[in-house]
Amino acid sequence: MAQIRLANVTKRFGSHAALDDLSLEIADGEFFVLLGPTGAGKTTTLRLIAGLEKPDAGTIEIGEQDARHWSAAERDVALVFQYYSLYPRYTVRQNLAFPLKSRVRNYSQAEIDARIARAAKTLRIEHLLERKTDRLSGGEMQRVSIGRAIVRDPRAFLMDEPLSNLDAKLREALRAELKELQMKLRGTFLFVTHDQIEAMSMGDKVGVLNQGKIVQVGTPNEIYNRPKNTFVASFVGSPTMNLIAAEMSERRLVAMSGKLQLPAPGQTGQGPVTIGIRSEDIRVGPQEPFDASVHDIENHGVEKIVTLRVEGQVFRATVPAALALKIDAPVKFGFNVEKLHCFNAAGERI
């Protein structure tokens, strides 16, 4: 397996810069998730590494070697796409054998059989080997696609939203399976997704991409608990982090027409700021200091998400499922002040 490094990569399509001076390092054996909204440049990054696109500027290294002039085949990375590109008339075994039959590899039949058996066992598709791929379910097809990537020992695995077309239950199962597979193979994985839950749950590292630029790279914990700006803050986490306009003066934060007054945690300064607070860091109960009314209640089974309203401004709090609440009734709320985030007028963390 190999390390991957992109330095100052720019890629333009016409006048539009899909990637803008992007630098990124994926360590050998790391599960790296590239997370961002549609159009952020995730797929372009992946295609540049795979050799399916050429950068306009910047360098791409694979295994500490300059890979810019290598063909896609020479880069020897395995791709898994959102749409399983399997040969429909072939059996699962034939599909798995395909990447091994290339003349450059020259594997013996015994070696091919052994590799297929090993991949099939890892992905628990041994019982499907003789079946034609058009007779498989979506989850089985995606397992076969992954199988086709792991039968050979590529330098890295590049996966482009491989779970997006599957139903929720299967997605959850494959999430754990992929993570387990990566740990077993000790492989370098680059996984592209717009789904923050996939990024949080699988990534050793998460790179958040927006408009062709890397906004933040960190562990899931860092991304969630110390978002670098309001974009990361509101892209990661569900419900979305509450962002509330406030005014900082001396060591106090004042928001919601003065109804909300808080000590500014650690910072000093003057002027407009944005307070960020996650729904699980807002408490609701009779002993809390601030007044609000209940705007909406969502029952999520394990917990409730309640939307509170103060002075026409709404924000969300996660409360225990058993807490009795009524729409438009008054409630008291408070903050877990240590979990308060503060962003300046430009949206950067302070």
Partner 1 sequence: MAEIVLRDIEKFFGPAYVIRKLNLTIRHKEFVVLLGPSGCGKTTTLRAIAGLEEIDSGDILIDGEPVQRLEAGDRDIAFVFQLYALYPHLTAYENIAFPLRATRESQASVDAKVRQVARSLQVEHLLNKRPAALAGGDMQRVAIGRALVRRPKAMLMDEPIGALDAKLREEMRTELKRLHLENGSTTVYVTHDQVEAMSLADRIAIMNDGVLQQVGTPDDVYHRPANLFVAQFVGSPVMNIAPAVLATDGNATRVALGGGPGFEFPAQLAGRIARIAAASSGVTLGIRPEGVLISLTETPGHIPVDAHLIEPLGAYDIVDLKIGPQLVRARTPSGFVARAGDRVWARLDPAKTHFFDAETGNSLHTGSGDGAN
Please choose, from the candidates 92, 169, 88, 160, the residue with its C-alpha nearest in 3D space to the C-alpha of residue 126. 92
What is the distance between the alpha carbons of residues 284 and 304, in angstroms, rounded to a whole number?
11
Site for partner 1 (CB under 8 A): which residue of 29, 39, 63, 239?
A: 239
Question: Pattern 269-308, binding to partner 1, x per CB under 8 A?
Answer: ---------xxx--------------xx-xxxxx--x-x-
Cα dihedral 208→214→218→221 (10° resolution): -30
| Among the residue ranges 10-18, 112-120, 154-162, 233-241, the one whose residues contact partner 1 (CB under 8 A) | 233-241
Provide, rounded to whole angstroms, the least separation between the CB of residue 253 and partner 1.
23
Q: Which tokens belong to 72? A: 């896609």
Query: Which alpha helices (H) appear in the chain, and where do they start and end?
Result: 42-50, 72-75, 92-97, 109-123, 138-150, 168-185, 196-202, 220-225, 230-235
Question: Is residue 311 at the binding interface for partner 1, with CB under 8 A as the rule?
Answer: no
Question: Is residue 327 at the binding interface for partner 1, with CB under 8 A as the rule?
Answer: yes
Q: Which tokens belong to 243? A: 């962002």
Site for partner 1 (CB under 8 A): which residue of 23, 240, 313, 344?
A: 240
Site for partner 1 (CB under 8 A): which residue of 104, 110, 168, 346?
A: 168
- Counting every residue written for the chain, the total comes to 350
Please choose, from the candidates 179, 273, 209, 193, the residue with its C-alpha nearest in 3D space to the C-alpha of residue 9. 209
- Judged by beta carbon, residue 172 or residue 288, the one nearer partner 1 is 172
Question: Is residue 321 at the binding interface for partner 1, with CB under 8 A as the rule?
Answer: yes
Binding site for partner 1 (CB under 8 A): 37, 167-169, 172, 175-176, 179-180, 183, 196-197, 200-202, 220-221, 224-225, 234-240, 278-280, 295-296, 298-302, 305, 307, 314, 316, 318, 321-322, 327
